[in-house]
Structure 1
Amino acid sequence: MKNISFEWTSVKITFVLALNVLISIMYWFAVVKYKETADEIANSYHSRDMILINAIKTTDSNVPEIKILKYQFDYIQKVKKTNLLLAHRFSSYGYAFTVFLCIASVVGGILGFLLLKSGWENSKNFYLKASFLIAFACSTLCGIFPSVLSTKENAASNLSKYNIYNGIQVDIYNIVTDMEGYLKRNTKGSLDSLHIKIFNVSKAIKENQGVDYNFDLTKIPKEIKPLN
């Protein structure tokens, strides 16, 4: 009898572990599939960036102001890659959490309905109970994590900064190619205006530098917060 009991216990443990592994694989699969689409979007952004990068490279000038502007352009290019990467990651995880919340909620609802027929105490079906608890835990975690990790806000904020940097780079390109004629006029007034433009670019970089990687632990329901 002890061997039979141990055998059933091993089967139950294996079932629970297998179910958790399957859920983890499905979650990662959802992240990967979304990431593939996001990678295509990121590649289109990169192609767009290359147009400006190549255009800036073709402007050969020894003017100190132009050199400064090129340094600013290169600095922005490196910084905004991090913003795009974080927007990419947070949106991927947020998508996967949302998909699994929907799936776990539906599955948990069906399993809960089946359990109601016999009642929790009266039900002898371990696998039904275990599946319900795992589905309930998944729906709870997938409902909490997006808020705690601020996936939507972090993705939107980093993408917004990325787009702001794009706009600054376009402004730099316009100045470097002397579209407003500051260097062509080459007067004290025009050069002063050019210096103001460079200062404004530096100011915009300072105002938007940094990445958003915020957490909000207040979003954790009080009922499941650990005791302090």
Structure 2
Amino acid sequence: MLLLFGTLGEATRCVQAIAALQPSACDLMDRRVLSLGRDSDPRFESMIPVGSEAALIVEQAGMSERETRDRIARVVSAARGTAQSTRVAFEAHDFEDVEFLWSLPQRVVPLLTRLKGTTRPLPFVEDIAVPPEHLHEFLTSAHRVFQEHEVTASLYAHAAAGQLHLRPFLPSPSSDGGARLETLAASLYEGGLPDGWDDQRRARRRTLANALRQRPARSTLPRFPADQGPFRSPGTAQPRQDHL
């Protein structure tokens, strides 16, 4: 099912209410992702009105079609009880429609990497792990950070699982050696470790190493990921520490 919202804030507030209903998936997309989706297929263009600010793709499963429809109805009720702008854009009940709906993020994420211009969405703060109950709080803080740095960003998230993909639109980091990227990443950093969902990526190793250097080497492993505040990623892989 595709739910559309008038603001990103309304969509993020709905995530916690929907997560309590144990969906199979609940993915969040912002207006930039939706705009690319509209351009990728006429069916998405007719489904997603111009000006849609955010969307959730919610998947539910049941032992029967009736149970599945009941679970979907509860999702719609929870969303409308949280956000008045909630609009059901599409419901998928057979395999082909479900596959088509999930093709929306599958089409768009590769398109982000092919955007042209002086600034591009750079995936250097991807795979951020945030507990779903803190998602709205974190994204509000992240929005302030982007405003302070005068940048915009695209957002796609496996929201119910707490995995975020943020891609700020920035020039290629060739002239300053990536100093601006490092400053922006440090502003977003809230403790814990980068998420290991898609494995550790080279773009994040410097931030991770700096976090580890803040603690004595002998206590690093026992203390992670304990007591890292609300924004943490438990159970992630550790990098080599022979430089400590």
TM-score, normalised relative to structure 2: 0.20
Query: Which of these two proteins has the greater Rg computed from alpha carbons?
Result: 1
TM-score, normalised relative to structure 1: 0.21
